[in-house]
Amino acid sequence: GIQVEQSPPDLILQEGANSTLRCNFSDSVNNLQWFHQNPWGQLINLFYIPSGTKQNGRLSATTVATERYSLLYISSSQTTDSGVYFCAVERTTDSWGKLQFGAGTQVVVTP
Amino acid sequence: NAGVTQTPKFQVLKTGQSMTLQCAQDMNHNSMYWYRQDPGMGLRLIYYSASEGTTDKGEVPNGYNVSRLNKREFSLRLESAAPSQTSVYFCASSATETQYFGPGTRLLVL
């Protein structure tokens, strides 16, 4: 199957700092999503971004499909940004909706 | 509009017992999914249903069965629970590419 690697595995930030999370994948994809899992376990979809750049408030994401990576940017981090960020992809050759998740990046934002 | 709901929130089973995890969505989505999440890992797809009346295996289907009861409901059944099935189970639904997740069910198999 497709390999999805996220880096770094852990990140500690001071409130107000900026950061970049990376997702590398091993095959061509037609679906890439970023999720945030808060400390209570709830998973929230942040972006659907198989290619290009999107922004939503302090978060933005860029996917370069030809080079098989995606980046998630967090600017002016807040304590509510803490949690685990997952990248999930669906191979172009796979059936609809078969997302493969990376292991995640654990982010802790300190006051 | 409750989104995706799951019951129960937490369950303890003994090895060999059976149980059904329930999932319902009120967003009129065609597709529904069951995932499991183990400590330190991302989610892994167990089964999915692209539309009412269809189900397909995901990455880790062994030991599980599913039923797409109607468009709203998608249940996951463990016929004979094993300690390796201790995990957090998430249900999700989608109309297009974006998947929306329920709050999860924590299952402990002793």
Separation CA A16–CA B35 (nearest Å): 34
Yes or no, beta carbons of B45 and A86 under 8 Å apart: no
Q: pLDDT, tens digit, for every residue of A19-76?
A: 999 999 999 998 999 999 999 999 999 999 999 999 999 999 999 999 999 999 999 9
- In this predicted structure, the answer to whether residue A95 has a pLDDT above a threshold of 70 is no
- In this predicted structure, the answer to whether residue B110 has a pLDDT above a threshold of 70 is yes
Separation CA A34–CA A79 (nearest Å): 19
Mean pLDDT calculated for residue range B1-27: 95
Q: Are strands A29-37 and A43-48 parallel, antiparallel or unpaired?
A: antiparallel
Q: Are strands B31-37 and B43-49 parallel, antiparallel or unpaired?
A: antiparallel
- In this predicted structure, the answer to whether residue A2 has a pLDDT above a threshold of 70 is yes
Yes or no, beta carbons of A99 and B59 under 8 Å apart: no
**Maximum Cα–Cα distance across chain A:** 44
Yes or no, beta carbons of B59 and A100 under 8 Å apart: yes
- In this predicted structure, the answer to whether residue B3 has a pLDDT above a threshold of 80 is yes
Separation CA B23–CA B76 (nearest Å): 8
Yes or no, beta carbons of B59 and A48 under 8 Å apart: no
Taking a C-beta distance cutoff of 8 angstroms, is the pair B89, B34 a contact?
Answer: yes
Residues in A touching B98 (Cβ below 8 Å): 33, 45, 48
Separation CA A53–CA A46 (nearest Å): 13
Separation CA A50–CA A33 (nearest Å): 7
A-chain residue closest to B42, CA distance = A103
- In this predicted structure, the answer to whether residue A93 has a pLDDT above a threshold of 90 is no
Q: pLDDT, tens digit, for every residue of B37-85?
A: 998 888 999 999 998 889 999 999 999 999 998 999 999 999 999 999 9
Report chain A residues touching chain B, CB-CB < 8 A. Answer: 1, 4, 31, 33, 35, 41-45, 48, 50, 86, 88, 95-104
